[in-house]
């Protein structure tokens, strides 16, 4: 039997989870060893599995949210570039981010005075504390505030000059989450940011979702932001294995940035610069 035949047989077994991307004719598969948890929360289906090579796996409505093996890339790139480009990021808001990985990374910056994380589904944070405790090691930091409510309503009611950096760690733009990609939402973020404030939002795959990235950039600009850029980075368990985060600047895009003086697994000075290089097909 050829090796390819063996692999096909293995992929068709019950030991594998597959997330299919029908619009792009491909799928991601991860080998499972055990189901750890399943729950239908008031908002979504939450599942946690143990995999053979990628640590624990969290799914929301059947889509990969994170794995123990590669989540550090996403969390570091969603936080450190923006925080390092702001001269004094003392007040930070995270909308979404219920797994608390971004919260942990933000709190590595000593200059940060307080971080408010607002996520709709408290059960995601509960599951992260139980099955991804390494992501939640800073949840009890006195600078951290965790609220479980609607992030769109929260930012619409926020006072002006409330935050220096806003991080939108959201799921895909479907259902309730679609509001997090609207011009109205970006306008609310703009209003609540301090002078020279920075907004960063996950913006899906450059290969699969080019139109979304361009629409986000346009909506951010239309909402009043002075400059917009997109960061690109690998994320092997997300669609296409290539991901992005789009940043909007209330003032001018900073030419300089602070360097980190703590340990990271992916982010460094070279990555900070390289991630801003724009592929030709996105120009």
User: Residue 47 is encoded by which pair of tokens?
Assistant: 């599942």
pLDDT at residue 11, as a whole number: 53
Ranges in the chain annotated CATH 3.40.50.150: 71-282
Average pLDDT over residues 247-261: 94
- CATH fold group of domain 3-67: Spermidine Synthase; Chain: A, domain 2 (2.30.140)
pLDDT at residue 6, as a whole number: 42
pLDDT at residue 8, as a whole number: 45
What is the C-alpha to C-alpha distance for residues 56 and 49, in angstroms, rounded to an integer? 6
What is the C-alpha to C-alpha distance for residues 163 and 91, in angstroms, rounded to an integer? 5
| Residue range 43-78, pLDDT digits in tens | 999 999 999 999 999 999 999 999 999 999 999 999
Q: Which H helix or E strand runs over 34?
A: strand 26-40
Task: Say whether pLDDT at 13 is over 90.
Answer: no
Beta strand 242-249 with 163-169: parallel, antiparallel or unpaired? Answer: unpaired
What is the C-alpha to C-alpha distance for residues 221 and 204, in angstroms, rounded to an integer? 18
Average pLDDT over residues 255-279: 95
Which CATH number applies to 71-282?
Answer: 3.40.50.150
Of 201, 231, 236, 206, the residue nearest 70 (C-alpha): 236
* pLDDT band (50, 70, 90) for residue 3: very low
Could you confirm whether 169 is annotated as catalytic? yes
* pLDDT band (50, 70, 90) for residue 4: very low
What is the C-alpha to C-alpha distance for residues 215 and 68, in angstroms, rounded to an integer? 31
Average pLDDT over residues 137-164: 96
Residue with tokens 């005075």: 113
Ranges in the chain annotated CATH 2.30.140.10: 3-67
| Residue range 81-135, pLDDT digits in tens | 999 999 999 999 999 999 999 999 999 999 999 999 999 999 999 999 999 999 9
What is the C-alpha to C-alpha distance for residues 74 and 18, in angstroms, rounded to an integer? 21
Contact predicate 216/201, CB 8 Å: yes
Percentage of residues of the chain with pLDDT beyond 70: 95
pTM of the full structure: 0.94
Annotated catalytic residue within 169, 172, 261, 270:
169
């Amino acid at each position: 039997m050829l090796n390819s035949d063996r692999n096909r047989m293995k992929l068709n077994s019950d030991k594998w989870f597959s997330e299919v991307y029908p619009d792009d004719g491909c799928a991601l598969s991860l080998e499972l060893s055990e189901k750890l948890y399943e729950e239908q929360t008031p908002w979504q289906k939450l599942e946690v599995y143990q995999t053979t090579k990628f640590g624990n796996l969290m799914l929301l409505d059947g889509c990969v949210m994170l794995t123990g093996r590669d989540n550090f890339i996403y969390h570091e790139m969603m936080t450190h570039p923006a925080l390092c480009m702001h001269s004094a990021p003392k007040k930070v808001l995270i909308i979404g981010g219920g797994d608390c990985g971004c919260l942990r990374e933000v709190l590595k910056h000593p200059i940060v005075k307080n971080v408010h994380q607002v996520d709709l589904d408290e059960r995601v944070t509960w599951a992260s504390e139980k099955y991804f405790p390494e992501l939640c090691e800073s949840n009890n930091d006195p600078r951290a505030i965790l609220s479980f409510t609607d992030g769109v309503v929260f930012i619409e009611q926020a006072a002006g000059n409330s935050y220096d950096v806003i991080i939108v760690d959201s799921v895909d733009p479907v259902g309730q989450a679609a509001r997090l990609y609207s011009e109205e939402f970006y306008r609310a973020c703009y209003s609540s940011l301090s002078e020279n404030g920075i907004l960063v939002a996950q913006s899906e795959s450059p290969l699969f979702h080019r139109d979304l990235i361009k629409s986000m950039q346009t909506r951010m600009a239309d909402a009043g932001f002075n400059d917009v850029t997109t960061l690109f980075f690998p994320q092997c368990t997300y669609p296409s294995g290539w991901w992005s985060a789009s940043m909007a600047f209330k003032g001018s895009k900073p030419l300089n940035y602070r360097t980190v003086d703590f340990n990271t697994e992916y982010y460094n000075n070279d990555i900070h610069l390289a991630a801003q290089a724009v592929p030709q097909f996105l120009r």
